[in-house]
Structure 1
Amino acid sequence: MGKMKENGVRNRQKNGKQNGKQNGVSKHEDERKDEEFSIRQSPLTELIDSSLHIRAIYHIFVVILIMLLCDTVIYDLVERGKINIGLSVIAAGFGDIRRGLKLWVYDLCVVMAFYPLIMVYAFIGKYTRKYTVLRPAVVLLGVAGVIAVEVAIAAVPVVELARKHLELGSSVAVTCEMFRFLMKIVAVSAACGPRCLNGHLPLPTFKHYVYFMFSPTLLYRDQYPRTNKIRWGVVAFHLSEVAAIIFYNCFLWERFIMPYWSDYGKERTVEAGYLVRGMFACVLPGVISFLCGFYCVLHAWLNAWSEMLKFGDRLFYEDWWTTSRFSLYYRRWNRVVHSWLRDHIYLPLAPLTGRPLATFTVFFVSSIAHEVILALSFGFFYPVLLVEFGVLGVIMVPLTATSGKRFPNAFNLIMWLSFFIGNGILWSLYPMEYFARRNCPPSENDSFFIPKSWTCPEVILKPNWTFQNPLRILTN
């Protein structure tokens, strides 16, 4: 009965969206109302609990990890007399973690200091409320204060990572937390700024402010649906999944990526065939890492924090894997970030600039943020993801808007094909550049923004290579 009720609600929401299609921005306002918080589980939680088929797929991924471990352990033991299971990659990937923790604590202190600034701004707003001539100056003061806090949150980690690069895992953690705090501050400011000026609604307590900063959402609300108790067994299970997936990805890096790319740049030339073979070899581990990364962050990690904080709404994503339209994929893949982009960028801009420009701005901001995270994490600017996501992904949105509805099966296959190709490219080009900067000799032309792998090593064809007609055998 519960599932029937949920399906009925979704159908009513779908019909409401279709009825509002001609109303421009009102359609998205309806979506915003539909997405108010309620107690609900993540889709994969429901699928794994209710479907033996999905549970079997989950077990298959676990068995794949076990078999890969057995392969590496037995081979290394027989061939080299030692056991190597990827722990060295984990230790290296999270190197200098103390420095990364210091940067996170700094950002946390700035975020906590923002609360008393809100109280001060509310005091100023209260005593200048009757002086309407001062209202523009007070608004500008608030905007300037928010910008100053945002700069303080971002400046120190960016400067520190540029001055001395952290290892990949530590850098990813620091930069992702930096962006999370930046978006949280915007959400709090948008909710509390008008209250400070008008005094119509009370400001959040410090306890609720802290709760919001650690809750698995980027949208500020005065109240969230809460569960009755913390199931510590569920917390332990999800955190163990996070640890296992980190180990899994490091193992994939060591087992499949490093054999192809760790020596890239040590030789002055490399054959084109070797690059092609390596890029295709990275497709499957790239897709597995893509799926594991999604499950780790948007399911296991967020569900663990939800359980610890009794946060009831756990719809952090939807069934993006079944869609045939890129627009639906972008909305369903990460509802946490999508909701923030919708509320704080799209909806304010759409009435002023129109929906197309507002949509483009959302894609632009999101792709730039992703690229900044990768640039700070790797220590170089290489806009592969920017091109895939911010250019090709944007182009695919209108191309699949109608055709995806007419041919859902075909375009779902096309989407998955794009995931395979795109992740294979990502897991090839970024490691190539990463190891080229480590292995190639330094040059006066070295730059943060110019890829070194384009010039070192030189890509050549195999000696005496000639094109042979594959149909020749049919004509003989």
Structure 2
Amino acid sequence: MTENGVRNRRKKVKQNGEAIHEEEKKEYEEFAIRESPLTVLLDSSLHIRAIYHIFVVILLVLICDTVIFDLVESGKINIGLSVIADGFGDIRRGIKLWAYDLFVSMSFYPLLIVYSWIGAISRKYPVLRSTVVTLGVGGFLALEMAVAAVPVFELGRKHLELGSSVAVTCEMFRFMMKLVAIASACGPRCLNGNTPLPTFKHFIYFMFAPTLLYRDQYPRTKKIRWGVVVFHLLEVAAIIFYNCFLWERFIMPYWSDYGKEKTVEAGMVVRGMFACVLPGVISFLCGFYCMLHAWLNAWSEMLKFGDRLFYEEWWTTSRFSLYYRRWNRVVHSWLRDHIYLPLAPYSGRALATFIVFFVSSIAHELVLALSFGFFYPVLLVEFGVLGVIMVPLTATAGRRFPNAFNLLMWLGFFIGNGILWSLYPMEFFARRNCPPSENDSFFIPKSWTCPEVILKPNWTFQNPLRIFYAN
């Protein structure tokens, strides 16, 4: 290819990239002062507030039911508090791992200052520019590896309890994504010297702000409403209790003894999986509300962070592509800016979208693998395979039949969460209850071989319409 041809090709790629950037930016505005959708709905609609009250009443009724059951059966009350204590066991070690990641992440700023000094030297001696760029990229990758290496090694060496390990792994990924955002924004500044670097105060603010996109300025509110902060933190505590209560009340009765017997009837497994559908989807909704609404709004209020659009109205959509964009705008925006947009001009939209799904699904599965202590890629299959397939399948049909496909999406949420809340506990308790074996492995599910799943002895299918024939 001639030099002009190469130049024209680069120009075309650049133009395509700019077009993709502009089209994507039309959908997502820059940061602005705005409330979360549920905040607006709860304040403006008595119907939505009534649904909120229904969830609170369901929790209260379930608590009363469990209290009565415990008093009648054993004379004591146990409403999930033991699950919370066990789930966040060894919390001191978890805090140490989090503090390590925080310290390593904070070290990025002085390293950035040093790199800016080196960049200033490279501007005087352009021959050193490529070496300085290589040094910066290598140093940043080493810092990212340092953030991830110790938590991964420590969780692999000695497993933390589920709640503590989820918190540690999620914070590990959050710090790594924050560093990518600020490095991509400030790295070129060190080399060009045209724009000043952020102050350390702003760097600290970004590391705790409820966003993964770096900006030199964010819209800020005028004051902190401490009543709002306390209310949202109480919601977080209540939802943690709610999920632990669901685990103890609906999951453990079916799966806590899984693996203690050599055989288990297939009918019991199927019944248990269907019994987990409702608690699974309730946990799914509560988890969404806890993390993407209550927790992020509490931090936004404390930091006077004005933009609270952490999600959009995903529950009304009929297309999986919109669901993935709206469900978690915080992570989606990071994936869009740091993976999809840089790749799309060169690889095409389809491949860039696939890479985004692949990276996201792998990250989600790593969180679960490090948290549970085993690799069981159920979520990877549901999210990274079936989810990808549903994106083109619902692209056109979802527009033509929005009501029908919204119903189908919710059916998928119910079934998918029921499967998740069945297979992961089955594997979790199988590894606890089944006797050790030389074939035990982090990557091979133990629940496939222990216990043995059998049909009920002398089981036969009875025709449910036989009574009508008899009459």
Task: Report the TM-score, using the length of structure 1 for normalisation.
Answer: 0.94
Partners of 2:91 and 2:211 in 1: CA distance: 26
Q: Distance in 2 between matches of 1:425 and 1:293?
A: 17
Q: Tell me, in whole angstroms, the C-alpha distance in 1 between the residues paired with 2:23 and 2:179.
A: 25
In structure 1, which of residues 140, 143, 153 is the aligned counterpart of residue 147 of structure 2? 153
Q: How does 1:374-393 map to 2 (within 5 A)?
A: 374-393=368-387
Matched, 1:203 2:197: yes
Give the aligned residue type for 1:367. Answer: S
Tell me how far apart the structure 1 counterparts of residues 105 and 115 of structure 2 sit (CA, whole Å): 16
The letter of the residue matching 2:77 is I
Distance 1:354 1:25, change over 3 A: farther
What displacement does 1:468 show?
Answer: 4.1
Structure 1 residue runs of 4 or more that deviate by more than 6 Å after TM superposition = none
| Aligned with 1:400 (options 390, 394, 400) | 394
Deviations, residues 238-274 of structure 1 (Å, cap 9, x unaligned):
0000000000000000000000000000000000000
Aligned pair partner of 2:172 in 174, 178, 185: 178
The 8 Å contact of residues 20 and 345 in structure 2, kept in 1 or not, is answered as no
CA drift at 1:32: 2.5
Distance in 2, matches of 1:252 and 1:376, equals 22
Q: 1:294 aligns with which of 288, 310, 315?
A: 288
2: CA distance between counterparts of 1:250 and 1:467? 38
1:113 to 107, 117, 121: 107
The Cα offsets for residues 386-424 of structure 1, whole Å up to 9 and x where unpaired, read as 000000000000000000000000000000000000000
The secondary structure found in structure 2 opposite 1:453 is coil
Of the three residues 48, 73, 76, the one matched with 2:67 is 73
User: Is the contact made by 1:25 and 1:350 (CA closer than 8 Å) also made in structure 2?
Assistant: no
Deviation of 1:26 (Å): 2.5
Matches within 5 A, 1:288-367: 288-367=282-361
Partner of 1:86: 80
Cα distance in structure 2, aligned partners of 1:73 and 1:470 = 38
1:85 shift after superposition: 1.0
Counterpart for residue 440 of structure 2: 446
What code does the residue aligned with 1:270 have? Answer: V
How far is the alpha carbon of 1:132 from its aligned partner? 2.0
Out of 59, 81, 88, the position equivalent to 2:53 is 59
Counterpart in the other structure of 1:436 = 430
Deviation for aligned residue 1:133: 1.9
Of 18, 23, 30, the residue aligned with 1:30 is: 23
Question: Where in structure 1 are there 5+ consecutive unaligned residues?
Answer: 1-22
After superposition, what is the alpha-carbon deviation per residue over 1:111-146, rounded to whole angstroms, capped at 9, x for unaligned? Answer: 111100000000000011132221111111110011
Conserved? CA contact 2:361–2:380, under 8 Å: yes
Deviations 1:278-331 (A, max 9, x none): 000000000000000000000000000000000000000000000000000000
Q: Match for residue 231 of structure 1? A: 225
Aligned counterpart, 2:248 = 254
Q: How many residues align structurally?
A: 455
Q: Secondary structure at the match of 1:102?
A: helix
Distance 1:405 1:154 in 2: 42
Q: 8 Å contact 2:340–2:352 — kept in the other structure?
A: yes
In the alignment, what sits opposite 1:463?
Answer: 457
Aligned to 1:279: 273
TM superposition shift of 1:31: 3.1
1:30 Cα offset (Å):
3.4
- Asked if 1 retains the 8 angstrom alpha-carbon contact of 2:20 and 2:341, the reply is no
> How many Å apart are 1:78 and its aligned residue?
2.0
Instruction: Give the partner amino acid of 1:31.
Output: E
Aligned to 1:144: 138
Distance in 2 between the 1:472 and 1:27 partners? 63
CA apart distance, 1:464: 1.3
Counterpart in 2 of 1:15?
none
Give the distance between the partners of 1:251 and 1:133, measured in 2 at CA: 64
Distance 1:75 1:96 in 2: 30
Q: Which amino acid aligns with 1:219?
A: L
Secondary structure in structure 2 of the residue aligned to 1:452: coil
Other structure's SS at 2:457 match: coil
Does 2:369 match 1:372?
Answer: no
| Residues 255/25 of structure 1: CA separation in 2 closer, same or farther (3 Å cut) | farther
SS at structure 1 position matched to 2:134: helix
> Please, which runs of 5 or more residues in structure 2 have no aligned partner?
1-15
Find the aligned partners of 2:61 and 2:152 in 1 and give their Cα distance. Answer: 40
Does residue 193 of structure 1 match 2:158?
Answer: no
Kept in 1, the 8 Å contact 2:225–2:301? The answer is: yes
Q: Please state whether the residue corresponding to 1:303 is helix, strand or coil.
A: helix
Give the counterpart letter for 1:190 in structure 2.
S
> Are 1:98 and 2:92 matched, yes or no?
yes
Counterpart Cα distance in 2 of 1:29 and 1:187: 19
Q: Which residue of 2 aligns with 1:9?
A: none
CA distance in 2, matches of 1:32, 1:188: 19
| Percent of residue pairs bearing the same amino acid type | 84
SS at match of 1:462: coil
User: Displacement of 1:35 after TM fit?
Assistant: 2.4
Could you tell me how far apart the structure 2 residues matched to 1:433 and 1:339 are? 34
Aligned mates of 2:21, 2:78 — CA distance in 1? 52
CA distance in 1, matches of 2:74, 2:91: 31
Equivalent in the alignment of 1:19: none
Please state how far the C-alpha of 1:475 moved relative to its aligned partner.
Answer: 5.4
| Correspondence for 2:9 | none
What do the CA deviations read for 1:182-229 (whole angstroms, capped 9, x no partner)? Answer: 000000100001000001101000000000000000000000000000
Matched residues in 2 for 1:239 and 1:274: separation? 39
Task: Give yes or no for contact 2:17–2:341 (8 Å, CA) kept in 1.
Answer: no
